[in-house]
Amino acid sequence: MTDNSSRRDFLKVSAVAGVAMSLGASGEQAHARRGKRLPYGANAKRLETVRIGFVGIGGMGGAHFRNLLRIPGAEIRAICDIKESKIKRALNWVAKAGKPTPEVYDRGETDFERMCERDDLDLVFNATPWQFHVPICLAAMKNGKHAATEVPAALTRKDSWKLVDMAEKTGLYCVMMENCCYCRPELMVLNMVRQGVLGEVMHAECGYMHDLRGVKFSRGGEGLWRRDFATKIKGNFYPTHGLGPVAQCMNINRGDCFDYLVSMSTPSRGLQDYASRLKPDDPRRNEKYIQGDVNSSLIKTKKGYTIVLQHDCNLPRPYSRINIVQGTKGIFQGYPDRVFIEGRSPGHKWEEADKYYPEFEHPLWTKHGPTGKGFGHGSMDYIEDYRLIEALRTETLPDMDVYDAASWSCIVEMSQISLENKSRPVDFPDFTRGKWKTNKPLGIIGA
Amino acid sequence: MTDNSSRRDFLKVSAVAGVAMSLGASGEQAHARRGKRLPYGANAKRLETVRIGFVGIGGMGGAHFRNLLRIPGAEIRAICDIKESKIKRALNWVAKAGKPTPEVYDRGETDFERMCERDDLDLVFNATPWQFHVPICLAAMKNGKHAATEVPAALTRKDSWKLVDMAEKTGLYCVMMENCCYCRPELMVLNMVRQGVLGEVMHAECGYMHDLRGVKFSRGGEGLWRRDFATKIKGNFYPTHGLGPVAQCMNINRGDCFDYLVSMSTPSRGLQDYASRLKPDDPRRNEKYIQGDVNSSLIKTKKGYTIVLQHDCNLPRPYSRINIVQGTKGIFQGYPDRVFIEGRSPGHKWEEADKYYPEFEHPLWTKHGPTGKGFGHGSMDYIEDYRLIEALRTETLPDMDVYDAASWSCIVEMSQISLENKSRPVDFPDFTRGKWKTNKPLGIIGA
């Protein structure tokens, strides 16, 4: 049995049955409202060394893994993957770094459960296919470990609630690793917003526009599983890359809260067109994709501000996350990065964002940008991992919490419900249970 | 009585009472469905000379007026304005051009009616404040003249239907002069779409993002009336500039049709902030604006394609109409103008649009671009006016028809209804009464 077919079987059997979207239910009713709840992270203790179990050491997992090997205070005690080649590669990295050999968990797709039962781990970090994120995070917290997961943390509101409930039941952290929150321009914008340079933030635009046809049809890596979601999910199944940074600028869950969303998709053409160019006997030619090529959503916040969110990964186009943050005094727009500030920029003219780095470079980038170079997506993956370990070692709240993970991720389901219902509004759950009204905004993190 | 106060009085008395939006009614029920209907333009005759009555010779009117003075076959027979200074200026332009002096209609705001009753006019062209567009077009057609109007043609679905009904009753043209359809990049995109370079057009984005605070608070011109709409209309009251060109690329009313729209606005801050900086005794400080600063709408077409449409004119920001046209084979994006074509552009990288002009420059621009330079918004206003006169002189359909005017304009009302109802979908009227299914797409116009 090839890796490919075993992965695909899993998708058919386990994920679709267990983790697939229950589109009718909002999840609000289903999640456990009763039972003891703790303040988020109440059981987090200051850790000298963060002992880590790592699940899924593929493309993105490998990047995190190598970062963790060189972040002070991080210690990888256990690793878990279904592919021998990935395990070997990881052990090789460990050996080269001169670190102790971690224990290996390679007995199939649920072996992470056995790993989570160890008593010498503080954190379970996973970078697995999307359907594993929730089960692994739940297993980690249930067994007393903090959880960190790649994006999206969950695919439905119900599963998002499960993460919130488990985090509040255990008092542990559940962090979605949204690396784009640590990208250089995004960090500068956050810094500018915190300093009031853009005024009252009224509107933002963001998205994930990335021609992934080659990746989705590759014979390895994400090609083994990512394309399959396009046969099952119509909506925006990858909302967090663009959304995370602007949600931080807009104080989502910390002074404001997503209220409702409307969503609309184009027909599905890109993947079908691509498949039609494969060899005549390629079985992928028979796959039927339902995901609209371009998905556009509008999000309203409780305070009335707006966000345009897009997903566009199946058509030929250059990369963009849009990255517009617009306030009453100025605006930042990405791709290319540019700034306009009233009374400072020349009349009606953009300035190159580069001009503003000397004044508004984010302190995290000043400190870690040079160190992280060459380690995954510029330095942002390194800074992201560094910040997580730093939070655990200093007993401070990680920059992103389980409420962020839940509210940024549940759009996967919500966008689909809206677009299947003539773009009617779909309400966000308030995962903070009203705490967004009193939670303090994220500061200039790391400063 | 100053010009200012007389205009403002009119707005209060006439416009709001008579032309204001009836948000509850769709207009579908209200418009006259009975009565004889003619094919659009059935009574258009080939004209050697197009005899024109011109209403509203202010900023934009002055640009059209001067274009018409030098377009072959156009003859201005009558002019109408409420301001003596504008009449004088126009007569001066006429004299300088060595043309016969037109008759003057200056007996107040409804004197256009008297002008429309003349029996020596073929076309009544108006560039007046928005609330006059429908009454003037109706008076023109009722009196046997073709009508041309500045944008938006109407502010409600009901009024849009009135234009359609009158055009079909009389067999005359009613053309909304959307100059952006003749802008150089927009024309090149249309040419590329017609040649199939972008593949099947799936998605477009457009808008009117223009910091007009200075204009809206000026003591003359549009400052006398435009700001007032922001105290009465919440939605996107200026939708056509960005939308017109992409609607042409997407065959709206000619193979496809707008189906429904959802809309969302930010709070209203920009104009209030601006007013608060005025002198303490300025009465404009007491105006209350209700228009959301950034309005974002999603439009679905009958064939399932999507459009993002925005309006953003009250905050400090550089100009943009966005201008994205995305197909299965490539994408054009404006501001700055760039192109990506699969198999031609380098992998995942934009190319500057300028590179494509030698191959895809629109023939209208090749022919008229140099002539029109320096006459309003580059050459696009000139080409726009030229094309209208050319159509009337050659007995061909103008590039934009009354169905375009109606469907592009009625978004003013529809966006407001949606945003006041939690962004719920609002159905577009099918102003073509099903003819969009058989109407042929606009070709490479003028080629």
Confidence of residue B354 (pLDDT cuts 50, 70, 90): very high
> B32 or A297: which carries more pLDDT confidence?
A297
- pLDDT > 70? residue B257: yes
CA distance B248 to B446: 14
Q: Which amino acid is at A16?
A: V
From the list A200, A293, A348, which residue is nearest B318 (CB)? Answer: A348
Q: Which residue of B has its CA nearest to A327?
A: B315
Overall average pLDDT of the B331-356 stretch:
97
A121 closest CA partner among A89, A76, A162, A159: A76
- pLDDT > 80? residue A353: yes
Q: Which amino acid is at B331?
A: I
- Pick the residue of B296, B301, B322, B342 with the most A CBs within 10 A to test the interface with A by mutation: B296
CA distance B244 to B400: 9
Q: Which residue of A has its CA nearest to B301?
A: A266
Per-residue pLDDT at A369:
87
A86 closest CA partner among A7, A15, A176: A7
Angle at A284 between CA A280 and CA A287, to 5 degrees: 120
Which residues of A are less than 8 Å from B208 in CB distance? none
Specify the 3-state DSSP secondary structure of B351.
strand
Which residues, at least 6 apart from A19, have a Cβ–Cβ distance to it below 8 Å?
A131, A134, A135, A155, A156, A159
Which residues of B are less than 8 Å from A270 in CB distance? 328
Per-residue pLDDT at A13:
30
**Percentage above 70 pLDDT, chain B:** 92
In tens, the pLDDT along A52-70 reads 999 999 999 999 999 999 9
Residue B52 C-beta-side C-alpha neighbours within 13 Å: 30
In tens, the pLDDT along B371-400 reads 877 776 779 999 999 999 999 999 999 999
Q: Is the ipTM of this complex over 0.90?
A: yes
Which residues, at least 6 apart from A304, have a Cβ–Cβ distance to it below 8 Å?
B266, B267
In tens, the pLDDT along B179-208 reads 999 999 999 999 999 999 999 999 999 999
- Cβ(A297)–Cβ(A310) under 8 Å? yes
Which residues of B are less than 8 Å from A316 in CB distance? 328-331, 340-342
In tens, the pLDDT along A103-121 reads 999 999 999 999 999 999 9
- pLDDT > 90? residue A9: no
Confidence of residue A7 (pLDDT cuts 50, 70, 90): very low
- Cβ(A341)–Cβ(A329) under 8 Å? yes
A298 to B200: CB separation less than 8 angstroms, yes or no: no
- pLDDT > 90? residue B30: no
Which residues, at least 6 apart from A272, have a Cβ–Cβ distance to it below 8 Å?
A288, A289
From residue A83, alpha-carbon distances to A4, A7, A271, A341 in Å are 10, 10, 27, 51
Whole-model pTM?
0.94
Overall average pLDDT of the A83-95 stretch:
98
- pLDDT > 50? residue A392: yes
Residue A444 C-beta-side C-alpha neighbours within 13 Å: 16
- pLDDT > 90? residue B401: yes
- pLDDT > 90? residue B431: yes
Q: Which residue of B has its CA nearest to A297?
A: B298
Overall average pLDDT of the B51-63 stretch:
97
Instruction: Count CB neighbours of A173 within 10 A.
Output: 25
- pLDDT > 70? residue B34: no
Phi, psi of B201 (to 5 degrees): -75, 120
Which residues, at least 6 apart from A162, have a Cβ–Cβ distance to it below 8 Å?
A31, A134, A138, A154
